[in-house]
């Protein structure tokens, strides 16, 4: 494969990956507006027990979901000009790797189920690595 083709393939792959991540993250906006009972239903469905009653719990769930949605918008935005936002994309890739590593520790220390620990952090790390690999300059 020629270098130009490889660069074009990598660029297309990066755009697709970032846009998929964008949509998945933006979907968290639902949790910002759903009735509290739906948060509780999801919490129980995930096997996390009953949803705690204090208002801070729903506040944290909703405000975190809003941050995920905003991150989703940011990811889509950077796909509109990969060259201009190249450094930001590298930063975001590394941030995802570091976040994934930290999430493993947080999930473990908070006693989340093993399936959760095995999925959340490693997936975040793998996606960050994929972003970094797709963003890197093609070799000569």
Least confident of 2-16, 22-36, 98-112: 2-16
Q: Within a domain: residue 140?
A: no
Q: Which two tokens stand for residue 52?
A: 């705690």
pLDDT more than 70, % of the chain:
93
Its pTM surpasses 0.85: yes
Q: Is the pLDDT of residue 3 over 80?
A: no
Q: Within a domain: residue 50?
A: yes
Q: Within a domain: residue 123?
A: yes
What is the pLDDT, as a whole number, of residue 5?
A: 56
CA distance 135 to 14: 7
Task: Provide the residue count of the chain.
Answer: 140
Phi, psi of 54 (to 5 degrees): -55, 140
What is the pLDDT, as a whole number, of residue 91?
A: 98
Q: Which two tokens stand for residue 90?
A: 């590298």
Q: Are 13 and 132 in contact (CB under 8 A)?
A: no
Q: Is the pLDDT of residue 4 over 90?
A: no
- Tell me how many domains the chain contains: 1
Q: Within a domain: residue 100?
A: yes
Give CB contacts under 8 A, 24+ apart, made by 90-94: 90/132, 90/135, 92/128, 92/131, 93/128, 93/129, 93/131, 93/132, 93/135, 94/128, 94/132
Q: Within a domain: residue 20?
A: yes
How many angstroms from the chain centroid is the CA of residue 12?
A: 19
Q: Within a domain: residue 22?
A: yes
Residue 2: band (very low, low, confident or very high) from pLDDT cuts 50, 70, 90: low
Q: Which domain holds residue 93?
A: 3-135
């Amino acid at each position: 494969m020629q270098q130009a083709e490889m660069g074009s393939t990598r660029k297309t792959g990066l755009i697709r990956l970032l846009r998929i991540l964008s949509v998945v993250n933006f979907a968290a906006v639902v949790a910002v507006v759903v009735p509290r009972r739906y948060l509780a239903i999801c919490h129980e469905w995930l096997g996390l027990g009953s949803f705690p009653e204090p208002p801070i719990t729903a506040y944290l769930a909703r405000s975190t979901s809003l941050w995920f949605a905003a991150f989703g918008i940011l990811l889509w935005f950077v796909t509109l000009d990969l060259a201009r936002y190249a450094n930001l994309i590298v930063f975001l890739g590394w941030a995802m790797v570091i976040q994934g590593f930290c999430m493993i520790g947080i999930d473990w220390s908070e006693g989340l189920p093993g399936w959760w620990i095995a999925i959340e952090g490693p997936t975040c790390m793998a996606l960050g690595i994929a972003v970094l690999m797709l963003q890197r300059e093609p070799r000569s």
